[in-house]
């Protein structure tokens, strides 16, 4: 499938390319999980079979591959990663020229092309080359990070959980280069330990390490390093909503927050909206997924958006979520103000929110279930205007997410548990 997908993507993404003496090129990166090795080989072969030269940049974060697609002037980019998912999973993400994620319509074209690809592909000198190593790729990306955040972080001690993923060889270097004192944990990937009880989906060890080392903060990345969550000096988790609140206020103060607008998703805590209203910042909501945040950012030419999960997008600097960039910006705000992360995050009060992931066999059946809709309406009536209910299918796993917000934790837990039981029974 990866072989076919590489060929189909090359066909679709390079077919409208202007005439040039240069052969079309693709950048291919991956996270450290073991299946990435064979998938990279298959994808590269598929693209080369359609006349595309392939530059393999090795293990690097998703945002690095997006940046390098633009920086090298490539026609397309490919990242092989399942992000925060367990090691046995994997996925393939494409970027167009400029390092931008593809709209749904183009992805549909690629899927269709897999079944309809012409048999008369190039032969002989028309076949592309696969270059196995780009020795300056990591340095280009690190330089980009440094130029985007020219703030001295001396005096800040940070613990970095690299999730044994793509951040392992990048994030600690980037933070140290900016002047921070860095303690790195889970930064020894072996192809099998990515996201294994570490990183942004398992924060307990980072919380413990921050306290043990007396650090000012901790930063947690996921497998492909497009996410960043934080821990303050007291071990409290600072999620993506709180990080967005801190950065939005900082950018507004510097007149960098275009139209004084923040773009978030429907999963963001109600406390974020209330905090932004108090700060005179408009908050726009999108469907869940960083691609939808990106679409809204681009449509309105906004400057900050993201998700509660830690995908933070700063379009001036990057075309997708960049966890390492987020960490740098967060520490820069600490350095500029002299305030602790806890104090900075205090701009927002997090309302009780309960999220239950329910394993399901058929996501569509849940969406169409009258019983689920009826139960959801009852929950919304019980919560009134002081709470919120959101049910949605996971985009990457056979799960249905049940989220409930309320002013009281016990009520949120009770309502969420009741809804989750209904979903599980369908």
Residues tagged in the binding site annotation: 83, 222, 224, 226
User: Hunting for tokens 């940049």 — which residue is that?
Assistant: 57
- The DSSP-derived string for 76-119 is EEEEE--TTS-TT---EEEEETTTEEPPHHHHHHHHHHHHH--S
Query: Which residues are part of a known binding site for Mg(2+)?
Result: 83, 222, 224, 226
CA distances in angstroms from 120 to 44, 51, 54, 149, listed in the order given = 19, 12, 20, 48
- Is 169 labeled as catalytic in the residue annotation? no
Residues 78, 26 contacting (CB under 8 angstroms) = yes
User: 39, 21, 19, 16: which is closest to 29 by C-alpha?
Assistant: 39
Beta bridge partners of 54: 26, 130
131 touches 54 (CB < 8 A): yes
Which residue out of 49, 83, 200, 268 is catalytically annotated?
83
- Report H helices in 254-399: 270-278, 290-300, 323-337, 341-345, 363-368, 370-383
Q: Which of 127, 180, 190 is nearest to 324 (CA)?
A: 180
Instruction: Using alpha carbons, select from 14, 328, 277, 31 the residue that is nearest to residue 156.
Output: 328
Tokens of 82: 């399942």
The residue written with tokens 């985007």 in the block is 148
Neighbours of 16 (CB within 10 A): 6
As annotated, the active-site residues are 83
């Amino acid at each position: 499938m990866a072989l076919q997908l590489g060929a189909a993507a090359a066909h679709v993404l390079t077919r409208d390319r202007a005439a040039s003496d240069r052969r079309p090129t693709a950048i291919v990166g991956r996270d450290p999980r073991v299946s990435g090795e064979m998938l990279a080989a298959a994808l590269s072969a598929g693209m080369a079979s359609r006349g595309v030269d392939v530059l393999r940049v090795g293990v690097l974060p998703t945002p690095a591959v997006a940046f390098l697609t633009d920086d090298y002037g490539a026609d397309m980019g490919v990242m092989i990663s399942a992000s925060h998912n367990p090691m046995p999973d994997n996925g393939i993400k494409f970027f167009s020229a400029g390092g931008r994620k593809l709209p749904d319509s183009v992805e549909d074209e690629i899927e269709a092309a897999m079944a309809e690809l012409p048999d008369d592909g190039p032969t002989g000198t028309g076949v592309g080359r696969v270059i196995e190593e780009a020795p300056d790729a990591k340095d280009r990306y690190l330089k980009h990070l440094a130029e985007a955040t020219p703030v001295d972080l001396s005096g800040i001690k940070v613990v970095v959980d690299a999730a044994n993923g793509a951040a392992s060889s990048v994030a600690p270097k980037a933070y140290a280069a900016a002047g921070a004192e860095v303690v790195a944990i889970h930064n020894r990937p072996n192809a099998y330990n990515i996201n294994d009880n570490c990183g942004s989906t398992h924060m307990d060890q980072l919380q413990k390490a921050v306290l043990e080392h007396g650090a000012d903060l901790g930063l947690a990345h996921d497998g492909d390093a497009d996410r960043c969550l934080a821990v303050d000096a007291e071990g409290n988790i600072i999620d993506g909503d709180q990080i967005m609140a801190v950065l939005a206020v900082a950018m507004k103060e510097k007149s960098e927050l275009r139209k004084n607008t923040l773009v978030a998703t429907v999963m963001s805590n109600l406390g974020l909206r209330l905090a932004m209203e108090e700060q005179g910042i408009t908050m726009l909501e999108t469907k869940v997924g960083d691609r939808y945040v990106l679409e809204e950012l681009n449509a309105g030419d906004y400057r900050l958006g993201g998700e509660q999960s830690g995908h933070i997008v700063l379009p001036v600097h990057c075309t997708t979520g960049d966890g390492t960039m987020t960490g740098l910006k967060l520490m820069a705000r600490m350095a500029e103000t002299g305030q602790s992360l806890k104090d900075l995050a205090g701009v927002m009060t997090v309302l009780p929110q309960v999220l239950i992931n329910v394993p399901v066999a058929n996501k569509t059946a849940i969406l169409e279930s009258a019983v689920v809709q009826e139960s959801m309406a009852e929950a919304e009536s019980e919560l009134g205007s002081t709470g919120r209910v959101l049910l949605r299918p996971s985009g990457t796993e056979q799960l249905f997410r049940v989220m409930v917000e309320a002013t009281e934790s016990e009520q949120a837990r009770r309502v969420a548990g009741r809804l989750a039981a209904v979903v599980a029974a369908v």
